[in-house]
Amino acid sequence: MDFNRPEVLAELQAAFARYEDALVHNKVDVLDELFWDSAQTVRYGVNENLYGIDAIRDFRNARSAVGLARTLQRTVITTYGDDFGTAMTEFRREGGDKLGRQSQTWCRIDGRWLVVAAHVSLLST
């Protein structure tokens, strides 16, 4: 298996950057587009466990758009073959005292990179 083939890695890095922009600017339609439209999609959040795209959509639509700005650090994106990858990053919210961690599992489905599973957690520092 090939890991981090330059052209595949660049595609996933671009998808991740698009996700990050949509997240901090509360572009719910783009976030929705980047998640697999399936009952099998899972997102574990800081205070919620979401099973299926409908639960993820409901969460996104109800979430406040205030205080979404953050700074990423130690981002590691890895591709495995042509159609599978992971994105791991740490983040800090402006004025926040906790270190956040985010992991995403991405899969190319029908030619598009989509998040099929995600996990967000916070550490006290």
Contacts of 77 (CB under 8 A, 6+ apart): 9, 12, 13, 16, 85, 86, 87, 88
pTM: 0.94
The answer to whether residue 122 scores a pLDDT higher than 90 is yes
Do the beta carbons of residue 92 and residue 68 sit within 8 Å?
A: no
**pLDDT tens digit string along 79-95?**
999 999 999 999 998 87
Centre a 10 Å sphere on the Cβ of residue 1 and count the other Cβ atoms it contains. 7
- Domains of the chain, residue spans: 6-124
pLDDT of residue 94: 82
**For the domain 6-124, what is the CATH code?**
3.10.450.50
pLDDT digits (tens, 9 = 90+) for 6-59: 999 999 999 999 999 999 999 999 999 999 999 999 999 999 999 999 999 999
Distance, CA of 89 to CA of 107 (rounded, Å): 18
